[in-house]
A and B are shown apart, each in its own frame.
Chain A
Amino acid sequence: MHPMSRRTLFAAALAAGTCVAGIAQAQTEIQFWHAMGGQLGEAVNRLADGFNKGQKDYKLVPIYKGSYTETLTAAIAAFRAKQAPHLVQVFEVGTANMMAAKGAVYPVHQLMADFKQPFDIKAYVAPVAGYYSTADGKLLSMPFNSSTSVFYWNKDMFKKAGLDPEKPPKTWPEVGEYGKKLVASGAKCGFTTQWQTWIQIENFGAWHNIPFATKQNGFAGTDIQLLINDPVRVKHIETLASWQKGNVFVYGGREGKSTPMFTSGDCGMFMGSAGTAGTIEASMISKGVPVGTGFLPYWPDVKGAPQNSIIGGATIWVMQGRPKADYKGVGQFFGYLSDPAVQAQWHMETGYVPITYAAYEVAKSRGFYQAKPGRDVAIKQLTLNEPTPNSKGLRIGNFVQIRDVMDEELEAVWAGKKTAKQALDSAVERGNKLLADFARANK
């Protein structure tokens, strides 16, 4: 028997069999599987508490399921066994796969309409909502923790290298120059990057207004091909590789593995997720090491740069297969989540960007950005210009594996086994195979 219906039955029996006044009616539980560890997980729990205290009919139960991959797998396994949670947090690279699973997900725009929840997509920050909408602008999943990549620098180390600690490099040639000075002043490394594919390939494209894949980066169809072996990217990767000499650039591993290289003071400059701001605050700023936050650097010879950056992070997808009535509670939760005060609180606690313009205003009006300079860099960078088809987002099938491919090829460059051109050509070739597979499986 379904656990939920058992509970409902129990509630009915309770209501019929007893007449004890004052007992709160049994609440309907809404399960939310997420991948937020650490302080972030605590923020999720506070969010749930807030929702649960604000009304009586539903109880949101957040469950930490491990990494993004583990969370998604658990949800898939549960769905196949007809035990899906109501809500599951899925990272942005899973978007195309989730979209393709038509009977499995309940599109947010439809849910909001079905239960007559007030909902206006224009209230949401455009590059955030855009990433998760259909080509005609209908929101599929609820933006939750969105970040973008930004530029961090260690002001003490800048001073030591004779650089102005308040003036970060704006362009890539400046990054190289600053890096050399930092190393010359005794730093172990000039700069490093987190999430190399997301920052140096994907965001790099949006920032320079060049495409990642055909058909508007996949928004207009699934039969697409990668375009990442263009001359601008080749030159960029080539330059980074050449900067490995003399440690101007040091590669520190995939995903977030390089973070400690910046927080420990090895590297003077760092490109990372805006979501890392909390960690940087805890391990550097609060210990008296001043850190600046700024826009990503760009190549000045590329026309249209800088455009705007794209997001990363995750959204909440609604899974089908629960009793119809439960989804009303889901709608209410989404309403709560989008509330400017709630959203602003989430943004200020976590470092993720606010998902609505109203929340951004609330944070501003509370003086948050004066107290924590740099925390508005992410949203400013995301909304720098009206997004173009190249900078709206990415809708790539089998994206997890394609990122693996790009990671592998880039690592071959860093290890000196391939030139940038060879690696990116091979990434395109291998990635296209995966895309063709996906297009076939999801006609």
Chain B
Amino acid sequence: MQKRVTFDNRLLPYLLVTPQLIITIVFFIWPAGQALFQSLLREDAFGTSSEFVWFENFVRVIEDESYLNSFRVTAIFSISVTVLSLAIALVLAVMADRIVRGGTTYRTLLIWPYAVAPAVAGALWGFLFNPRIGVLAYGIESIGVNWNYFLNGDQAMLLVVFASAWSRIGYNFVFFLAGLQAIPRSLIEAAAIDGAGPARRFWTVIFPLLSPTGFFLMVVNIVFAFFETFGVIHAVTQGGPSKATEILVYKVWSDSFRGLDLGGSAAQSVILMAIVVGLTVVQFRYIERRVHY
């Protein structure tokens, strides 16, 4: 993790890391420490009275049925978003790879949703599927399905999964396409000479060679679905109906901001931080070289 050849200087390295360090300490480690402390307290929202309760908040959170539900929802949500966006991106990348000319044009046409804010993506999809006026909702209704994501939890889940997966397709596409283009043509040609058709070539040659990219993307997408989809949930379903789309990050936020339960919410933050640290370590250990994000 370090260069064989390094410079010698006593002061300089410290000077160089100082700005980053100060900001990290002031705006991350200090507040995180406060969250840690808060998780052991029970207090009213304004902080005018507080009581030290040790780990009671944690016990309360873990025993809370809706917290377990939130774990389940998060799992379903993250996996669906990841699988859906990876699958679509892979299909598109494989097809685009076969096209000699126009590859970049397609990339341009596919990459931009990555730039759309989750909150805005939520607004777009919410509008498309609005049970009253949405274009797609209208289409669905007209084939006889009763579409109302305000009431139907599965439909609400479907909607936030679509909106989140949508914004990831372009990103995944870029990586898959790059991965595909890095596969030596000679390998594929050799397989072709052996008489393997396109499908067979895909499964026996291309897919295995692509799997490191796929694995990397899987981790990145799960992390995305875990933490960066707050805007989608907030703009479209607010966690409802009946907590059907209440993912962990949304629950932390909603318990502290709507519920004003600061201790319980802080306890959830601490658990979440532990998950983050765990994920980080795993990511580091096993896929060190492939992480960027």
Residues of A within 8 A of B260 (CB): 76, 97, 398, 400
Q: Known contacts A79-B46, A101-B44; is A398 also within 8 Å of B242 by CB?
A: no
Q: Is the CB of A400 within 8 A of B48?
A: no
Residues of B within 8 A of A257 (CB): 150
Residues of B within 8 A of A70 (CB): 257
Residues of B within 8 A of A264 (CB): 132
Residues 35-49 (chain B) with a chain A CB within 8 angstroms: 42-49
Residues of B within 8 A of A79 (CB): 46-47
CB distance from B132 to the nearest CB of A (A): 6
Q: Is the CB of B48 within 8 A of A104?
A: yes
Q: Which of B42, B243, B261 has the most C-beta atoms of chain A within 10 angstroms of its own C-beta?
A: B261
Q: Known contacts A254-B150, A441-B43; is A400 also within 8 Å of B258 by CB?
A: yes
Q: Is the CB of B45 within 8 A of A76?
A: yes
Residues of A within 8 A of B152 (CB): 415
Q: Which of B43, B51, B241 has the most C-beta atoms of chain A within 10 angstroms of its own C-beta?
A: B241
Residues of A within 8 A of B258 (CB): 69, 400-401, 404
**Does A411 count as interface, using CB distance less than 8 angstroms?**
yes
Q: Known contacts A80-B47, A103-B46; is A401 also within 8 Å of B259 by CB?
A: yes
Q: Is the CB of A253 within 8 A of B150?
A: yes
Q: Is the CB of A411 within 8 A of B259?
A: no
CA distance A87 to B260 in the complex (A): 19
Q: Known contacts A261-B132, A408-B243, A411-B242; is A97 also within 8 Å of B151 by CB?
A: no
Q: Known contacts A69-B258, A73-B257; is A101 also within 8 Å of B242 by CB?
A: no
Q: Is the CB of A398 within 8 A of B259?
A: yes
What per-residue 1/0 map shows which CB atoms of B40-68 lie under 8 Å from chain A? 00111111110100000000000000000
Residue of B nearest to A70 (CB): B257
**Does A100 count as interface, using CB distance less than 8 angstroms?**
yes
Residue of B nearest to A264 (CB): B132
Residues 239-260 (chain B) with a chain A CB within 8 angstroms: 240-243, 257-260
Q: Is the CB of B44 within 8 A of A100?
A: yes
CA distance A368 to B261 in the complex (A): 45
CA distance A299 to B42 in the complex (A): 44
CA distance A70 to B234 in the complex (A): 12
Residues of A within 8 A of B257 (CB): 69-70, 73
Q: Is the CB of B259 within 8 A of A80?
A: no
Q: Known contacts A254-B240, A261-B132; is A102 also within 8 Å of B48 by CB?
A: yes
CA distance A398 to B151 in the complex (A): 24
CB distance from A407 to the nearest CB of B (A): 8
CB distance from A440 to the nearest CB of B (A): 8
Residue of B nearest to A80 (CB): B47
CA distance A415 to B259 in the complex (A): 25
Q: Is the CB of B46 within 8 A of A80?
A: yes
Residues of A within 8 A of B243 (CB): 408
Q: How large is the interface on A (under 10, 10 to 19, 20 to 34, 35 or more residues)?
A: 20 to 34
Residues 89-144 (chain A) with a chain B CB within 8 angstroms: 97, 100-104
Q: Is the contact region of chain A dominated by helix, strand, or loop, or is it mixed?
A: helix
Q: Is the CB of A411 within 8 A of B151?
A: yes
CA distance A80 to B242 in the complex (A): 31
CA distance A412 to B240 in the complex (A): 12
CA distance A404 to B66 in the complex (A): 12
Q: Is the CB of B151 within 8 A of A101?
A: no
**Does A414 count as interface, using CB distance less than 8 angstroms?**
yes
**Does A221 count as interface, using CB distance less than 8 angstroms?**
no
Q: Is the CB of B259 within 8 A of A408?
A: no
Residues of A within 8 A of B261 (CB): 398, 437
What per-residue 1/0 map shows which CB atoms of A387-418 lie under 8 Å from chain B? 00000000000101100100110011011000
Q: Is the CB of B132 within 8 A of A76?
A: no
CB distance from B150 to the nearest CB of A (A): 4
Q: Is the CB of B150 within 8 A of A76?
A: no
CA distance A252 to B241 in the complex (A): 12
**Does A260 count as interface, using CB distance less than 8 angstroms?**
yes
CB distance from B116 to the nearest CB of A (A): 22
CB distance from A258 to the nearest CB of B (A): 9
CB distance from B46 to the nearest CB of A (A): 4
**Does A442 count as interface, using CB distance less than 8 angstroms?**
yes
CB distance from A330 to the nearest CB of B (A): 18
CB distance from A255 to the nearest CB of B (A): 10
CB distance from B24 to the nearest CB of A (A): 21
**Does A158 count as interface, using CB distance less than 8 angstroms?**
no
CA distance A264 to B133 in the complex (A): 11
Q: Is the CB of B242 within 8 A of A408?
A: yes
Select one of B44, B45, B241 contacting A408, CB under 8 A: B241
CB distance from B207 to the nearest CB of A (A): 42
Residues 226-263 (chain A) with a chain B CB within 8 angstroms: 251-254, 257, 260-261
CA distance A79 to B46 in the complex (A): 7
What per-residue 1/0 map shows which CB atoms of B18-30 lie under 8 Å from chain A? 0000000000000
Q: Known contacts A260-B132, A408-B241, A408-B243; is A251 also within 8 Å of B45 by CB?
A: no
Residues of B within 8 A of A80 (CB): 46-47
Residue of A nearest to B47 (CB): A80
CB distance from B178 to the nearest CB of A (A): 41
CB distance from B135 to the nearest CB of A (A): 16
Residues of A within 8 A of B132 (CB): 260-261, 264
CA distance A177 to B49 in the complex (A): 54
CA distance A133 to B222 in the complex (A): 50
For the complex of A and B, the 6 pairs showing the least CB-CB separation, nearest first, are A104-B46, A253-B150, A101-B46, A103-B48, A408-B242, A73-B257
| Given A101-B44, A251-B151, A398-B259, 16 new contacts (CB under 8 A) | A69-B257, A76-B46, A103-B46, A104-B48, A253-B151, A260-B133, A264-B132, A398-B260, A398-B261, A400-B258, A404-B258, A411-B242, A412-B242, A441-B44, A442-B44, A442-B49
Q: List 17 A-B contacts (CB under 8 A).
A: A69-B257, A76-B45, A76-B46, A80-B46, A101-B45, A101-B48, A104-B48, A251-B151, A252-B150, A260-B133, A398-B260, A401-B259, A408-B240, A408-B243, A415-B151, A437-B261, A441-B44
